[in-house]
Chains A and B, each alone.
Chain A
Amino acid sequence: MSGGNPSEAVRLQLHGITKRYPTLVANDHIDLCVNVGEIHALIGENGAGKSTLMKIVYGVVRADGGSMDWEGRRVLIHSPIEARRLGIGMVFQHFALFETLTVAENIALALDERVAPAALAPRIAEVAHRYGLPVDPARLVHSMSVGERQRVEIVRCLLQSPRLLIMDEPTSVLTPQAVKQLFATLRRLAAEGMSILYISHKLDEIRTLCDNATVLRAGKVSGTARPREQTNAQLARLMVGGDIPDLPMTTHRAGPVQLEIEGYSAPARNPFGMALRHIDLKVHAGEIVGIAGVSGNGQAELLSALSGEALGPHEGAVTLCGRRIDHRGAAARRDLGLGFIPEERLGRGAAPAMSLADNALLTGWRAGMVRHGLVRRSLAKLSARTTIAEFNVKCDGENTTAERLSGGNLQKFIVGREIRLSPKVMLAAQPTWGVDVGAAQLIHQALIALRDRGSAVLVISEELDELFTLCDRIAVLTGGRLSPALPRGQVTVESVSLLMTGTPSTAAARPEVNHA
């Protein structure tokens, strides 16, 4: 194992950590070494065992075997409290903050010592100031953006002066600007001697930020690397265990408008939701339009306006294939030719306890699987089998229940089911979120093939990389407003990220030379 750069003093050393679950070995004899002042990346696909390993280090999960040395001493960590006492802090991917409380109140609740929020405020302000993490202790959390909330979590960790900071996929919810700020803070912390364990699957970020990387694949260490000396392809090969073919880019020919949103405004559905303000968007047959932006900026509300799952008060109109649909329910919209790949797979895109054949029926019944009110089970089974074969879904056949599929395989099944219905308009929300690289590639290819067959496709995603590889036009949804959708050639990651932080939409209109 290669040593870290700033100092050779070892802060954390794992030897042969093993964790078995009934169905899988999450961690199989993992060795890992983090030095003082080192930013160490832990990379791997979803399900590779990164989160389990970090939970073991933080005392949330107990390992079945192996040992852990902390600053040269053998330690047993039974709980997060003990981990924090040793000097280990962790920022989780999903924050545990109370929206109705202030920053100081939230932090006071999370600290192991009992401090009054008022007494804590100056300490918060001091830490926030020192590390360039602007946080107002008196603000209510619900009024804060995701990036600001993450700062609260980081400040909470820093208040306990940890010597190792674990960050689980910290940038998955951040705008590119916020990512830059975060990296500056992390470099500064490392320069002061803090060790950072950085979990991610975003290779660009790891190459800019991290000194060393440990790559996990299927619960085992598949290699270690110095990311700055590697290309993305080399790192990806370690992660996936093979080469990933490039996505073939084809040009498209846009046809007539199939989906049109005109002057659509709707109030927020709940106190922490986002109102939609005067949304205008046209999606043509034979094109993929992408909507970038961080979740919570009206994404859920826009999807709901388009899917028809919950009708509510609004202004403006939504037209699908020439028919007004904004007062029609989800079933009527599907009758007109809408397909929808929802963000939540289990429970929304599929009924968990039902077989894949029954789940094929969920939206596929329109394709002749019901006659005279009777379900034609053989057709539903055939349809499920075809989807499984065409979309390479790994499972034990069409009688397996949906809940037994991995997230990526279930997503392939849902995407396949929706695509095989040949919808005139396809709506896809975070289609590859949490899906491994191979499955993501397959889903992208399927969406492009659907476009080439003449469907209008609308993709809402937080992943800019995804939108730039997939979409013909890109718009940004921020604060409930949608920027004009511009051809991919006229936008750059920079101009999109400017829009994501809420700069006026004129920024996107600036013609820029595209690198893609």
Chain B
Amino acid sequence: MPELPWRLEKRASPSRIMRVSAPVIAVLAMVATGFVLFALMGKDPVNALDLFFIQPLNTPYGWGELLLKATPLALCALGLAVSFRANVWNIGAEGQLTLGAICGGGVALFWGPQLGALALPATLLAGIVGGAAWAAIPALLRTRFNTSEILVSLMLVYIAQLLLAYLLHGAWRDPEGFNFPQSKAFDDALILPLIMQGQRATIAFPLMLGLAGLSWVFSSRLFVGYRMRVSGDAPAAAAYAGFSETRSVWLALLIGGGAAGLAGICEVAGPIGRLQSDISPGYGFAAIIVAIVGRLQPAGILLAALLMSLLYLGGESVQLGLQLPAAVTGLFQGLLLFYLLAADLFVGFRLRRVADPAVLPA
């Protein structure tokens, strides 16, 4: 068997500095690759990168957009991080987000006027409950029948999206909407207030910041968070200590689903203002990358969500400015994750040249 002259060797102690700087290195590598890609496509790379990363933030409106898109990303990612730390791989946040929008939107459309001052809180709550209920399906199937939550949560994404389309093409369609698959616009009282005039970010952003704080308390201070971390890190140790795996799986999925549901309702009760068939450009999936890039830590997730949001904005910007396809956003997201995983590998391992003949003839 031919052997490569290089071996991956586990490092004795991974450097703490490198662990923290791996995401930064991944970002730099992503930008560098973007530079080469733009050049290959015949665009001036400096101009393209400027258009991608700098131009979107040139105006206060642009900063508002940054916060606006970072909010659902961070909300989903915060919930997913709790889940991932417990070794529960919920990758269906996109579907839970959709259900959050449907349930919250349903409350807003049909009971909004009757609820008065409680309407907005009730709408948000319904969004959370909807997302959590959608995530309860993989939880039930995993704890009862030992199915894979990865597959179930993913497949439920498509069901959720079709359910939304079904409602918007039928019962919930706005009768005065020229047959577009969209609902009536929500009452103004049911739209989240803006942080400030002249941009579109809503109070969902400070709400998300508060939840990030809560998430930190949950994971590092609460005993229930500790038990879930043990379940994720060492399931046999959790069983040994008597921590219930079922409970951990349920909590992980309900928290992740609830957070994604909140992200969904904040989108429709925010910048969108009604239910429509495309409510998310894949926030629920991008949030997986945000959670991983953010090291499953609240502060890291906030930064990663801002970066991912910028990738969305930059993608739109080069679509308009350079007539590049929308796929460019996905390309940069993929590059980022790829480089981060590669950087992580080298944090834990080093490449060593294998000394040639092992036993040297004297």
- CB of A119 within 8 Å of the partner chain: no
Interface: A373 (CB within 8 A): yes
The digit string for B210-254, where 1 denotes a CB below 8 A from any CB of A, is: 000000000001111010011001101101111110000000000
Question: What are 15 A-to-B residue pairs whose CB atoms are below 8 Å?
Answer: A22-B11, A23-B12, A67-B361, A75-B359, A76-B359, A76-B361, A309-B240, A329-B242, A329-B244, A331-B242, A349-B237, A351-B229, A362-B230, A365-B223, A374-B221
A74 touches B361 (CB 8 A): yes
Most A Cβ at <10 Å: residue of B221, B222, B239, B241: B241
Residues of A within 8 A of B240 (CB): 307, 309, 330, 340, 342, 348-349, 362-363
Give Cα A507 to B83, complex, Å: 56
Q: How many A-B residue pairs have CB under 8 A?
A: 104
Whose C-beta in chain A lies nearest to the C-beta of B358? A62
A363 touches B241 (CB 8 A): yes
Q: Quick check: is B360 within 8 A (CB to CB) of the other chain?
A: yes
Residues of B close to A75: CB separation below 8 A = 359
Contact yes or no, B242 A22, CB < 8 A: no
User: A361 and B10 in contact (CB under 8 A), knowing A74-B361, A342-B240, A350-B237?
Assistant: no
Is A256's beta carbon under 8 Å from chain B? no
Please give me the residue from chain A that is nearest to B361 by CB atom. Answer: A74
Q: Are B359 and A67 in contact (CB under 8 A)?
A: yes
By secondary structure, the A interface counts as mixed
Tell me which residues across on chain B come within 8 A of A375, comparing CB atoms: 221-223, 226
Is there contact, CB below 8 Å, between A361 and B242? no
Shortest Cβ distance from B291 into chain A, in angstroms?
18
**Pairwise interchain contact A76-B239, C-beta atoms closer than 8 A:** no
Q: Which residues of B contact A67 (CB under 8 A)?
A: 359-362
A348 and B236 contacting across the interface, CB-CB below 8 Å: yes
**A332-B242 contact, Cβ under 8 Å, with A23-B12, A354-B230:** yes
Evaluate whether A353 and B236 lie within 8 angstroms (CB atoms) in the complex, with A23-B12, A332-B242 already known.
Answer: no
Considering only CB atoms and an 8 Å cut-off, how many residues of chain B contact the other chain?
A: 30
User: Is B357 an interface position by the 8 A CB rule?
Assistant: yes
Contact (Cβ within 8 A) A373 B241: no
- Kindly report which residue of chain B lies nearest to residue A354, judged by CB atoms: B233
Interface residue? B355 (CB, 8 A): yes
A63 within 8 A of B: yes
Within 8 A of A (CB), among B51-89: none
Docked CA distance A495–B167 (Å): 78
Contact check, B241 vs A330: say whether CB atoms are below 8 A apart. yes
CB neighbours (8 Å) of B12 from chain A are: 22-23
Q: Contacts A349-B237, A373-B222, A374-B223 hold; do A331 and B359 have CB atoms under 8 A apart?
A: no
For A347, the chain B residues whose CB sits under 8 A away are 234, 236-237
Binding site for B on A (CB under 8 A): 15, 17, 22-23, 56, 62-68, 74-78, 307-310, 329-334, 340, 342, 344, 347-354, 358, 361-363, 365, 370, 373-375, 404
Does B187 interact with chain A (Cβ within 8 Å)?
A: no
Q: Take A347-B234, A352-B233, A375-B222 as given contacts and tell me if A77 and B359 are in contact as well, using a CB distance cutoff of 8 Å.
A: yes
State the CA gap A493–B64 with chains docked (Å). Answer: 80
Q: Are B234 and A351 in contact (CB under 8 A)?
A: yes
| Contact between chains at B237 and A330 (CB < 8 Å) | no
Bound CA span A273–B341, Å: 40
**Residue of B221, B234, B354 with highest tally of chain A CB at under 10 A:** B234
Residue B278 is within 8 A (CB to CB) of chain A in the complex: no
Question: In the complex, what residue of chain A is closest to B350 when comparing beta carbons?
Answer: A22
Can you add 11 more A-B contacts, CB < 8 Å, to A67-B359, A351-B230? Answer: A22-B9, A65-B360, A76-B357, A331-B242, A342-B240, A347-B237, A352-B234, A353-B234, A354-B230, A362-B240, A375-B223
Closest to A338 in B: B242
Nearest chain B residue, comparing its CB with the CB of A351: B234
> What CA separation (Å) do A352 and B359 show in the bound complex?
35
Given contacts A344-B236, A347-B237, A349-B237, contact A64 B242 (CB under 8 A): no
Give the residue of A62, A330, A373 whose beta carbon is less than 8 angstroms from that of B223: A373
Nearest to B222 among chain A residues (CB) is A373
**Residue among A75, A308, A347 facing the most chain B CB atoms (10 A cut-off):** A347
Closest chain-A Cβ to B169's Cβ sits at a distance in Å of 46
On whether the beta carbons of A66 and B239 are closer than 8 Å, the reply is: no
Docked complex Cα distance between A17 and B359 (Å) = 8
Checking B226, B230, B239, B359 against A309 with a beta-carbon cut-off of 8 angstroms, the contacting residue is B239
- Please report the C-alpha to C-alpha distance between residue A344 and residue B241 in the assembled complex, in whole angstroms: 13
Interface centre among B236, B240, B244, B360 (most CB of A within 10 A): B240
